[in-house]
Structure 1
Amino acid sequence: MYVKVPRLTAGLIVFLLIIVLSTGSSENDWDLNFCGTWRHAKGNLNLIVSLSTGCERISISAGKNTLSIKGKITAHCKRSDLIPLDSFGLSLEEESKFCLYWEPLLDQLKLQVGEKNLTLCWPSSLHGSCCTDLSYGANEPEATYGITNGTIKTDVITGKTYTGYNFSGQSIECKTLCDQASNFNGNMNIQYPCARSTEVEMKADFRGYNIKSPVTKGVSAEPTAIVHLPRALKQAAKNTSKVVVTFFTNNVLFQEGHKEVRILNNVVGITIENEIIAGLSEQIKIDFHHDAISKMHSRKCVSWDTRKDPLSVTWTVDGCETKQRGSEHTECSCNHLTYFAVLVQLQPKPVRHLLALSVITSLGCAVSVISCVALIVFLCRKSRRSKEHSIPIHLGLALSLVFLNLLFFFTGVLANVGGHSVCTWVGAALHYSLLSSFTWMGIQVFHTFWLVYIVFRPSPKPYVWNLVGFVLPAVPVIILAGVGGIYGVREVVQSTNDSSPYLMCWMEKTDTALLAHYFTNIMILIVLVFSGIVMLFLVYREIRTRDEWRNNRVAFLSIWGLSCLFGTTWSLTFLDFGPLSDFVLFLSCILNSFQGFLLMLRYCMLDWMRKQAGGSALGSSSTGSTRQQMLQTHEKS
């Protein structure tokens, strides 16, 4: 019997169906994204993980000192661990935020506690059965310690504190789930990836094999990765002859939130079950075809290092070589099996002309060391027949520059030979020598001001300058060394070959080290450069009316030498941008690395001209004013 439904009623039915369907989809999710706040006591905290294969349920519970994740939800991942959380810094607080992520298509389970990401189950290829359609079950009882503000994705469950939450799942064929997710989204590469695997049987006559990544319809007609398995892999495998190559298109699963780096496109996993393969005599080659990478950003082949921390994604360049084949092609050659990818360094930008700058710096440091030693000998001899107060200051600057240039000359060798353990000490020493040099330049500025403008009081004793110039810079260095994680090996990436970065001992690339760099080096440099420029202007105003100013050689040497003494050549550091950045970089490199030589040259020339003029560094004074006489005395030194 046909019943005619009014148009308004039909619309209401459709609207109600939409509400019912949307409600059902919010209660049952194909994956799991559960977050909450763990209320716990201060002290020792632990994570208990107990996972087994199957598809029944997963429970997240918490107590006074323990967070537990238990259940049967995985296809192949089995885990039973007690993980201390003391190193995460949670024991100092009474509440800690956490999130649990479950990806059925990859059989991956991740836990984020505070700012630490833990991979409880590694991602794997598409298997037979997936545990999905997760539904929210009954809560555990309320308690003082437990989980509060539980949310599923963006939906808040409750603001009360429960000891645990339960989720049950249903089993489904992974291929069916992958097709459903792909059809729902319209493009499998955007949000719902399905890792594809290829299993290769390495028979007795195995001579190598090439595997191409699956081509996604409507996305690209070319494979994004090609893997070449060498013949040496057959010889290295002892217990099995099967190797599995897996292509992951969702690299978000392998990102760890670092803003300065990101993983490009595909991640390739190469494994042999129950075997660790390393040190292959013939390397595995992986050709990655990716989006175009600008020359301003470096890229390198990396592998997932599971030895350092098997629970965290740790990418390392050890065991892999990088060959750039244009902006869209990178070839990786590695001697072990694990997960592989191309890592793009977004900040800082790679250094252009690194080889030329390194040669100039090394030459300049060597010449400056020799020049400063000669200058020290010259000043020591002069101090025997002269009681000028500025000689100890010049000696202090020369000594600090010797130490600075000597350490900088050998920093590359020490970083390659000694590694992180040696660079911790060398980096701290290099930082101290830099701060000491800046401090002595600041003392030169202050002493010049004292000579020119304060004429009725004697300048401070030499031991005061030594305390300020040598002891004061050690204070921040000792504090930073006590904090730890500041000094170590620093990589300087060159734009032409980012696979072989220049290693030096300096501050590491961490947020703490960057903050220390700004609060010590940059802040002191700004004060030094500003005060040096002001002092140069004041000195110029004093000597521009003198007869000796007409002598161009003396004028040039005076102002140029004072600019080196006052550290104003370091101001070029702040001009490294725009179209003239390369020119400024080379100019800054030349002036600062040859600074010791230029200072020695100035002292020798002024001393020679003093002898030619009969004892005056700038010749005879025409005005005879007290300030000019004090400036003349300063120029003699």
Structure 2
Amino acid sequence: GLIGLAQTVQMWHPLENDLDLDFCGTWRHGRVSLRLAVDISTGCNGISISANRSTLSINGQMSAQCRWSDVIHLTDQFGFDSAEESNFCLHWEPLLDQLKLQLRGKNFTLCWPVSLQGSCCTDLSFGPNTPEAPYGITKGMVKNDVITDKILTAYNFNGTSINCSKGEWMLSVIVMGPQAVGLVEHPCARSTEVEMMDDFRGYNVTWPRTQGVSAESTVTVRIPTALKQAAKLTNKVVCTFFKNNSFFQESVKNVRILNDVVGITVENEIIINLPEPVRVDFYHDKTHSRTCVSWDTRKDPLQVNWLTEGCETRQYGPNHTECLCNHLTYFSVLVTLEPRPVCHLLALSVITSVGCAVSLISCVALIIYLCRKSKRSKEQRSIPIHFGLTVSLALLNLLFFFTGVLANVGGESVCAWVAAGLHYSLLASLTWMGIEVVHTFWLVYWVFCPTPKACVWNLVGFGESLPAVPVLILVAVGDIYGMRKVQQCHDRSDPYLMCWMKDSNKAWLAHYFINMTVLVIVVLSGLVMLFLVYRQIRTRDEWRQKRVAFLSIWGLSCLFGTTWGLTFLSSGPLSVFFIFLFCILNSFQGFFLMLRFCIVDWMQRHTSVSAPGSSSTGSTRQHMLQPQETS
């Protein structure tokens, strides 16, 4: 009963009360619609975490500025399923007046961080016991110390108000110059207050280095003159340098904070659209992928998002990043992990959509052309190979054109099958490009050997070897294909949805082991084949005509898939250029392929009506532009 429970709880007794609170537990609830009830107000009476069959409640009077009362419907708004229990963790940081909840892997910011407080509700201690119940909180832990395994209806923590300007929380207060700049230092952050006088002409604030901190690990803020005119209610601006960025490191996938966080605030005012930007210089360890961001809560009041909107990034070598921002908030530098966010996503999407549509129409026209040509020239064994490549490209463009729509409309179940089909058509296209390379080599160097029949090429290109087997294996493994979120550089909270391989370890392993391996083989073999064909035809008279030489290399490149090699150049100083070039060339590949066959057909007809003495020239041009026909 309660006596036994009291004895169990009393076994947990930390040596001293905690300045902040890290409480984790398991919410045992029913298979019903779930809710989160929050009621936070100012004061310092403490905090209570309670739960019943349908509601997890967080109530407390412990904040300096945060006031919020609301009920969030977890099942309706966030799609929580009807499991019997949910794991959660609650973190309270009194120094920043920040309260965060992690529930089922989702982060909810209940109180947003503010500047350093003059007084804090801290020194938390475990409060009175609560009764057992079939529904409630079990396995309650404070900083990994288990309180009890029993199911309690509530956990209560008492708080004590302390003066943050006394004791160890404030190490020093100094006055610098006539502008009365005060420096406050404590274990987590340093706060500098700058008073903007009537003759204010801007001011530089630098994170003072302490012993053991390298010169490369500093931050400098340039407060612009324009801020004096923008601030209407006060002439003081506070710069806070946070040493510990764990308060700001939300569980955003594939993104982490590089180094420091700087908060620039004017009390009780929102400063935006400054005519002269705030300049923040971050000096850090070497890294390549950096983006200046600011912390924003406008789109989702429960979750804080890092956005690039309003900030410009300037990189000076691998150790120095300058952020120019036209508003005041918290600033930092994000480092991008795999996969990298896509910049210019709208422009790339438009190019891809137009290219896929044009290529699809071109492939359909080319299929009709090849069917008619095969009836007139049945002896040409290269036509089935061209036909296979065209069909696979048509399927690839069709699925890729609709992948975004199907991801948003069809959901996860439909997206898994679309992703598998898209992967199959991609592998089929690359396989047929490889077959084009092998067939060309066969005709150029093994002139007197008969080429394999069309059924052999179809078996390789569409059937049991490549690409059907890898796709079937991945489908059998499971959790590979599905909905993929492509993060945008300017807004990470609104990703582009498409059907492709998931963002998981298994999917990435399959991508590198299968896709990249096939891509490397096709691109390298295509480049080698281009070089070998060049050696065969460079001594001919027609090669000296630049137009014919260009059309020869360009036409064979369309067949051999060498343009896909641009994907290996999508990093570095010219990454944006190569990404756009890759997008244009490969989305319009079906159109370029049709254009190549049109040119070849025109030159063949032009040769047929020329004088007999020019027939060898036409034959040579045909060999350069379409070597498969010259067996």
TM-score, structure 1 normalization: 0.63
In the alignment, the residues of structure 2 paired with residue 190 and residue 635 of structure 1 have an alpha-carbon distance, to the nearest angstrom, of 79
In the alignment, the residues of structure 1 paired with residue 524 and residue 278 of structure 2 have an alpha-carbon distance, to the nearest angstrom, of 56
1:288 maps onto 2:278 in alignment:
no
Could you tell me how far 1:30 is from its partner in structure 2?
1.7
1:176 maps onto 2:166 in alignment:
yes
Could you tell me how far 1:523 is from its partner in structure 2?
3.7
In the alignment, the residues of structure 2 paired with residue 505 and residue 46 of structure 1 have an alpha-carbon distance, to the nearest angstrom, of 29
In the alignment, the residues of structure 1 paired with residue 146 and residue 422 of structure 2 have an alpha-carbon distance, to the nearest angstrom, of 56
Q: Which moved more, 1:29-38 or 1:506-515?
A: 506-515
SS of corresponding position for 1:131: strand
Q: Deviation per CA, 1:224-265, whole angstroms, max 9, x where unpaired?
A: 22231332x344445x13453231322121112346333244
Q: Which residue of 2 aligns with 1:52?
A: 41
SS of corresponding position for 2:246: helix
Q: Deviation per CA, 1:402-427, whole angstroms, max 9, x where unpaired?
A: 9989999xx9xxxxxxxx999989xx
Could you tell me how far 1:314 is from its partner in structure 2?
0.8
**Equivalent residue for 2:313, pick from 312, 322, 329:** 322
Could you tell me how far 1:616 is from its partner in structure 2?
13
**Equivalent residue for 1:341, pick from 327, 332, 336:** 332
In the alignment, the residues of structure 2 paired with residue 263 and residue 532 of structure 1 have an alpha-carbon distance, to the nearest angstrom, of 36
In the alignment, the residues of structure 2 paired with residue 135 and residue 290 of structure 1 have an alpha-carbon distance, to the nearest angstrom, of 40
Q: Which residue of 2 aligns with 1:414?
A: none
Q: Which residue of 2 aligns with 1:37?
A: 26
SS of corresponding position for 1:512: coil
Q: Deviation per CA, 1:459-508, whole angstroms, max 9, x where unpaired?
A: 989xx99xx99xxx9xx9xxxxxx985365766xxxxxxx99xxx98969
Q: Which residue of 1 aligns with 2:6?
A: none
SS of corresponding position for 2:503: helix
Report the residue type matching 2:74 in the other structure. Answer: L
Q: Which residue of 2 aligns with 1:486?
A: 484
Q: Which residue of 1 aligns with 2:383?
A: 391
In the alignment, the residues of structure 2 paired with residue 602 and residue 405 of structure 1 have an alpha-carbon distance, to the nearest angstrom, of 23
Report the residue type matching 1:486 in the other structure. Answer: R
Alignment of 1:112-123 (within 5 A): 112-123=102-113
Q: Which moved more, 1:338-347 or 1:600-609?
A: 600-609
Q: Which residue of 1 aligns with 2:412?
A: none
Q: Which residue of 1 aligns with 2:323?
A: 332
1:301 maps onto 2:292 in alignment:
yes
In the alignment, is the contact (CA less than 8 A) between 1:124 and 1:246 conserved in 2?
no
SS of corresponding position for 1:252: helix
- Over the matched positions of the two proteins, sequence identity in percent amounts to 40
Report the residue type matching 1:267 in the other structure. Answer: V
1:82 maps onto 2:56 in alignment:
no
**Equivalent residue for 1:137, pick from 109, 122, 127:** 127
In the alignment, the residues of structure 1 paired with residue 98 and residue 370 of structure 2 have an alpha-carbon distance, to the nearest angstrom, of 70
In the alignment, the residues of structure 1 paired with residue 499 and residue 321 of structure 2 have an alpha-carbon distance, to the nearest angstrom, of 27
Distance of aligned partners of 1:215 and 1:528 in 2 relative to their CA distance in 1, 3 Å threshold: closer
Q: Which residue of 2 aligns with 1:98?
A: 88
SS of corresponding position for 2:15: helix
Q: Which residue of 2 aligns with 1:628?
A: none
Q: Which moved more, 1:606-615 or 1:221-230?
A: 606-615
Distance of aligned partners of 1:164 and 1:575 in 2 relative to their CA distance in 1, 3 Å threshold: same
Q: Which residue of 1 aligns with 2:544?
A: none
Q: Which residue of 2 aligns with 1:186?
A: none
Distance of aligned partners of 1:78 and 1:392 in 2 relative to their CA distance in 1, 3 Å threshold: same
Distance of aligned partners of 1:589 and 1:234 in 2 relative to their CA distance in 1, 3 Å threshold: closer
Report the residue type matching 2:223 in the other structure. Answer: H
SS of corresponding position for 1:26: coil
In the alignment, the residues of structure 2 paired with residue 132 and residue 94 of structure 1 have an alpha-carbon distance, to the nearest angstrom, of 33
Distance of aligned partners of 1:169 and 1:403 in 2 relative to their CA distance in 1, 3 Å threshold: same
Q: Which residue of 1 aligns with 2:260?
A: 266
Report the residue type matching 1:218 in the other structure. Answer: Q
In the alignment, the residues of structure 1 paired with residue 102 and residue 423 of structure 2 have an alpha-carbon distance, to the nearest angstrom, of 40
Could you tell me how far 1:342 is from its partner in structure 2?
1.8
Alignment of 1:406-485 (within 5 A): 436=425, 438-440=427-429, 442=431, 452=451
Q: Which residue of 2 aligns with 1:230?
A: 225
In the alignment, is the contact (CA less than 8 A) between 2:64 and 2:119 conserved in 1?
yes
Distance of aligned partners of 1:346 and 1:211 in 2 relative to their CA distance in 1, 3 Å threshold: same
In the alignment, the residues of structure 1 paired with residue 456 and residue 338 of structure 2 have an alpha-carbon distance, to the nearest angstrom, of 51
1:254 maps onto 2:248 in alignment:
yes
Alignment of 1:341-380 (within 5 A): 341-347=332-338, 379=370
In the alignment, the residues of structure 1 paired with residue 108 and residue 280 of structure 2 have an alpha-carbon distance, to the nearest angstrom, of 29
In the alignment, the residues of structure 2 paired with residue 510 and residue 219 of structure 1 have an alpha-carbon distance, to the nearest angstrom, of 45
Could you tell me how far 1:340 is from its partner in structure 2?
1.3
In the alignment, the residues of structure 2 paired with residue 46 and residue 571 of structure 1 have an alpha-carbon distance, to the nearest angstrom, of 49
Distance of aligned partners of 1:155 and 1:48 in 2 relative to their CA distance in 1, 3 Å threshold: same
In the alignment, is the contact (CA less than 8 A) between 1:48 and 1:69 conserved in 2?
yes
SS of corresponding position for 2:48: strand
In the alignment, the residues of structure 2 paired with residue 430 and residue 153 of structure 1 have an alpha-carbon distance, to the nearest angstrom, of 43
In the alignment, the residues of structure 1 paired with residue 125 and residue 224 of structure 2 have an alpha-carbon distance, to the nearest angstrom, of 43
Alignment of 1:177-256 (within 5 A): 178-179=168-169, 192-198=187-193, 200=195, 205=198, 207-215=200-208, 217-220=210-213, 224-231=219-226, 233-238=227-232, 240-249=233-242, 250-256=244-250
In the alignment, the residues of structure 1 paired with residue 499 and residue 265 of structure 2 have an alpha-carbon distance, to the nearest angstrom, of 33
SS of corresponding position for 1:312: coil
Report the residue type matching 1:43 in the other structure. Answer: V
Could you tell me how far 1:293 is from its partner in structure 2?
2.4
Q: Deviation per CA, 1:84-105, whole angstroms, max 9, x where unpaired?
A: 2224454332111111112222
Could you tell me how far 1:115 is from its partner in structure 2?
0.9
* Unpaired runs of at least 5, structure 1: 1-21, 183-188, 412-419, 477-482, 492-498, 540-548, 620-632
Alignment of 1:155-174 (within 5 A): 155-174=145-164
Q: What do you get for the CA RMSD once the two structures are aligned? A: 6.2
In the alignment, the residues of structure 2 paired with residue 325 and residue 534 of structure 1 have an alpha-carbon distance, to the nearest angstrom, of 39
Could you tell me how far 1:274 is from its partner in structure 2?
4.1
Q: Deviation per CA, 1:427-477, whole angstroms, max 9, x where unpaired?
A: x9999888646425546878999x95569x89989xx99xx99xxx9xx9x
Distance of aligned partners of 1:39 and 1:327 in 2 relative to their CA distance in 1, 3 Å threshold: same
Could you tell me how far 1:40 is from its partner in structure 2?
1.0
* Unpaired runs of at least 5, structure 2: 1-10, 173-183, 410-414, 440-449, 475-480, 541-548, 609-613
Q: Deviation per CA, 1:143-183, whole angstroms, max 9, x where unpaired?
A: 1111101111121111111011111122221133544899x
**Equivalent residue for 2:57, pick from 44, 68, 79:** 68
**Equivalent residue for 1:127, pick from 100, 103, 117:** 117
Report the residue type matching 2:48 in the other structure. Answer: S
Query: How many residue pairs are counted as aligned between the two chains?
Result: 527
In the alignment, is the contact (CA less than 8 A) between 2:483 and 2:502 conserved in 1?
no
